[in-house]
Every structure is written in structure tokens, then in C-alpha cells.
Amino acid sequence: MNRKKIALLAVGAVAIILFFVFDLGRFLTLEALKANRQALLDYYASHKLTTVAGFMAVYIVQTALSLPGAAILSLAAGAVFGSIMGTVYANIAATIGATLAFLVTRYLLRDAVLARFGAKLEGINRELESRGFNYLLFLRLVPVFPFFLINLAAGLTRLPLRTFFFGTMIGIIPGGFVYVNAGASLATIDSLACIASPRVLGSFALLGLFALVPVLYAKWKNRGVAKEE
């Protein structure tokens, strides 16, 4: 590993350590957001551009470093910017942050992992290269798969950057909107659990299955052609 890679890895590690040493997570709680909402609204009223830029910068760093707090940041987007613009800002920031995590993983870790597990990953790589967009949509829409793990795992494959970027941007819209829209009615929220109800999670799972329909159809069609031959 060359000096540039080591330096990037060190910067990321230091940032993560500082986050926990200074307990910055205390600002990313539902209680903290409720307590500071009016102050954030007042600041936004007189410093719109700065507030948007600051919010997006924090969201990008949080996502890129796989730190906790994404749900609270999405709620904050709705509480400060409203449902529509909050979703737009949160979606762009989360997509950029996820792409950075994807690139860092690919740049720093992919070669070493492939050297050790290349044969085992070959099948997954083939599927992602040919039908990666639908697979990624499925992973983004179904809430069983942790967001940060998808970013890191995808970076270890040959999934094209463009596919990752647009698959992420589109795939996180439904879930992002649910949280941002909930944030617009912050006073009614008692816990994060009440946002992701079984009905909402079931809807996401159904959307994820729809994303897989083209993949399943292609496999069925190819199997039929193989039998005919």
C-alpha cells in the first residue's frame, strides 16, 4: 500500500476516532433534534445557503465514514427544510457520501480482498456487471440490508461507478422520503421505531421485489433457451 492510500486511511480513521472521543453522536439524537429545532429554523431563516451547505456537508461526511446518525439527519432535513426540499438535500448528500465510501473501499481494499477471495466473488461480480442496477435497487429498497454495508460491499466488486451512483440515488428515495416527511412533523415522533412500522417496511420489501422482476425474468428466459438447445 503506497503512502497516498495510507494517508487517506489514516485521515478516515482519525475522523472516526474523534467522533467517538468527543461523543459527537449526542447531537444526532431525537431528543437533541427536538431541543434545537427552533434554533435551527431561526438560523435557516437568515442563513439559507449556509444552512443547506452545512447540513449536506455533515450528511456527506457521516455517510462516507459510515458513522451513526443518518436517520436523525433525515428527520432534521424534514424539520428544517420541509418534506420536498429536505428529501432532495438528504438524497443528494447521502448519494455523494455513499459514493465516496464506495470509492474509498474500492481504492484501498478491493485489490487485497480480490487477491484472497477473487474466485469466490467472481460469480457475484458477473451478476453485478450484467444486472447490477436491479440488484442494487433491491438492496437499497429492502430495509434488511444496512446502508453502510452495501456501500462497502459494492466497492469490493466490479460494479460500475455510474450504476452504483444512480442505483443508490433512485433506490433511497422512498425510504428517505418517509424519514424526511416524518421530520416535518417532528413533534409527533416519540421514537425512530414508530417511523419504520411493519407496514412501511413491507412496502419497501415489495418495491424491492419489483426491482428484481427483470433479473428473474432474464434468468428464466435464459434457462428456457438453454433447455431448447
Give me the tens of pLDDT residue by residue for the chain, a chain 229 residues long: 678 888 888 899 999 999 999 999 999 999 999 999 999 999 999 999 999 999 999 999 999 999 999 999 999 999 999 999 999 999 999 999 999 999 988 888 777 767 766 666 666 666 666 677 888 888 888 877 788 888 888 888 888 899 999 999 999 998 899 899 999 988 778 888 777 666 666 666 666 666 666 666 566 655 654 455 5
Domain count, the chain: 1
pLDDT of residue 34: 94
Distance CA 101, CA 95 (A): 10
CB-count exposure of residue 40 (10 Å: 0-12, 13-18, 19+): middle
What is the structure's pLDDT at 221?
A: 58
pLDDT value of position 101: 92
Quote the Cα angle for 13-99-157, to 5°: 90
> What Rg value do the Cα atoms of the chain yield, rounded?
20
pLDDT at 146: 85
Structural domain containing residue 24: 3-228
Indicate the residue type of 67: L
pTM: 0.85
